Structure 1
């Protein structure tokens, strides 16, 4: 190769390097431009979003003198309340209302007819919904306490509505009615409630609370709907936790009912739940007296040895695992105990005459405490 040819080749290489350097410079400028653009976009979107949220929390019209009657039905979800408020022109955005309520951990909204104005901001509206500053007063109220069984709930409804107790109880167990409720509440009323071993399908599903109605004579169907609406709302708070625990709604309410029935006023429900879970894990029967009484269909002060022989899938002295279904309704405290039990190595507990609950690790310890605190044997 001649010197001339070598020089020409070097010029070509040099030219390509210059072109590559120029192209790299252009690419860097493009990348820098895109980065700046994206940063500005994020700032604008974020800032705009923040300003929008702040605006959505403020009154629609601070100078408005107008008031609207907004009806919040029993069992309304936060989403439903927000949509109703937006539709009536009381708030700007239902989703912002929902996220505000969740972020602030607000809740306990009361049903009723409210006088609300576009001049109110979201915090004031939330406060009114919590305190129940309603336009109309409830003309009918019914209270279902915690730990009540379906028969007892039927009796409460019958007395409050002046109906025949047997008719109400039969309605609560009517198969066609149950199936219609399952269609309406597929997220909480599953096929598990219709299993052949389940005594009463709605047992444990009618949430304990006080239910106001704005008509003097609500039907059984309206009362049950209000209760199931409330159950759905309460359980929606524990959906993720239930999945983590690998518990179906039916299993969760069953465990919660056992805790509810065993707990005294002084009892640590999470520790009671731990005993049940420890027994389930080890393959031991739960041996909880309330399930025997439920199998017998009786309320008794004491459970005797002969009672433990009752032939029923609910008898947790004879059968291992959870009973076929809940044995009563349960409140939030028992539901939360069933989902988040204490971590213990207790396998036994007993309640003393004054309501204290004593937990022990072994049968020997349990029998010792039993002899010490319980004078009358079964």
Structure 2
């Protein structure tokens, strides 16, 4: 009996050893499979990352014949340049551009207006930015001064491109044309521009600047595209500030246009903006004369009392808050004033014949200054 028990025990031990050995083989096999899978995953991820980076360094569209004017301001960071290039469809990825520049120890990019294309790879773009290889000699230039309205811009465009002013202005207000632009520039052209109360959809959106063109008689679309590219580039510098102030692009350009139209060379735009914001906070109408003239479609040196009765949503004597849209194209100074107004307790201002602007806190003070400086009353 004892012998049988010993045999049974040995058999049990042997079976356990066999089971443990089998389990160990299974575990080793599982570990091996997991290791192989992890290795493959690393290879795939690494290879995919490498391929992605290689792709990002190549042209966005090697067959593209389009060129865009990209402004690189003085003191621009590599991050800022990359973001601007990506936003304009010149490169695929701003971060890859940044790491490429750092890895290659590139730098010393020169400020200027560059003619860049989606057909260029990152290496060529970096080379141009380093050498300051800016625009080729322009065939001609279109200069749009600050404070110009859409009708005036249309006249300048028509004269510069040998087109009829009426045709240009009609094109600028064609709804189908506007919709194609909205699809191309969804970040700046929203449904607000097509609101029923807005007089001209593109009013205030064509940035005042000098635009070079490299072939004679470009189309209206080509000219407008260059202008909207500039608008997008400029506004991209103020995106965070606009978000902080809870201002849409439309609201920002509207406020900036009011500042632009009221400002003189000697005026402090930020203080003018403060007056507008102070009045809006108190629920007071803005009562700015340029909106009345815009509603009438007139250009006059002096607004008369009868002008203030014009029935229009743009009449800021009859309506509170901002008008439905911009009334002119504002420059950078006015945009910055709209975003960073001076902290004041002024509610009135008055421009003198000499171009000075007098700010006052009360209506009584305002009327006193008006009596001093405005001899020919409305």
Q: State whether TM-score is above 0.5.
A: yes
Distance 1:121 1:164 in 2: 38
Q: Say if 1:360 and 1:366, in contact at 8 Å, map to a contact too.
A: yes
Deviations 1:323-366 (A, max 9, x none): 00000000111000000000000000011111000000000000
Q: Say if 1:76 and 1:229, in contact at 8 Å, map to a contact too.
A: no
1:74 is aligned to 69
Q: Say if 1:241 and 1:339, in contact at 8 Å, map to a contact too.
A: yes
Unaligned runs of 5+ in 1: 1-69
CA separation of 1:95 and 1:299: change in aligned 2, threshold 3 A? same
Does residue 257 (structure 1) correspond to residue 257 (structure 2)? The answer is yes
1:108 Cα shift? Answer: 5.3
CA separation of 1:105 and 1:223: change in aligned 2, threshold 3 A? farther
- What are the residue-to-residue correspondences of 1:163-312 with 2, within 5 Å? 163-312=163-312
Deviations 1:228-255 (A, max 9, x none): 0111111111111111101111000000
1:341 is aligned to 341
Q: Say if 1:86 and 1:93, in contact at 8 Å, map to a contact too.
A: no
TM-score normalised per structure 2: 0.72
Distance 2:89 2:249 in 1: 29
CA separation of 1:348 and 1:127: change in aligned 2, threshold 3 A? farther
Deviations 1:271-328 (A, max 9, x none): 0000000000000000000000000100001000000000000000000000000000
CA separation of 1:201 and 1:72: change in aligned 2, threshold 3 A? closer
1:219 Cα shift? Answer: 0.8
TM-score normalised per structure 1: 0.72
2:97 is aligned to 94
CA separation of 1:84 and 1:359: change in aligned 2, threshold 3 A? closer
1:321 is aligned to 321
Distance 2:162 2:237 in 1: 35
Deviations 1:46-88 (A, max 9, x none): xxxxxxxxxxxxxxxxxxxxxxxx996224783365899989x
Distance 1:168 1:233 in 2: 24
CA separation of 1:321 and 1:97: change in aligned 2, threshold 3 A? farther
2:115 is aligned to 112
SS in 1 for 2:113: coil
Deviations 1:146-180 (A, max 9, x none): 10100000000000011110110000000100011
Distance 2:102 2:352 in 1: 46
Deviations 1:93-126 (A, max 9, x none): 62247899xxx99885313379x9x99996x854
**What is the total number of aligned residue pairs between the two structures?**
297
- What are the residue-to-residue correspondences of 1:22-37 with 2, within 5 Å? none
Distance 2:316 2:131 in 1: 47
CA separation of 1:106 and 1:331: change in aligned 2, threshold 3 A? farther
SS in 1 for 2:205: coil
- What are the residue-to-residue correspondences of 1:357-368 with 2, within 5 Å? 357-368=357-368
Does residue 331 (structure 1) correspond to residue 321 (structure 2)? The answer is no
- What are the residue-to-residue correspondences of 1:133-144 with 2, within 5 Å? 133-134=134-135, 136-144=136-144
CA separation of 1:300 and 1:121: change in aligned 2, threshold 3 A? closer
Unaligned runs of 5+ in 2: 1-64, 73-80
Worse-superposed segment, 253-262 or 236-245: 236-245
Deviations 1:253-275 (A, max 9, x none): 00000000000000000000000
Distance 1:107 1:277 in 2: 38
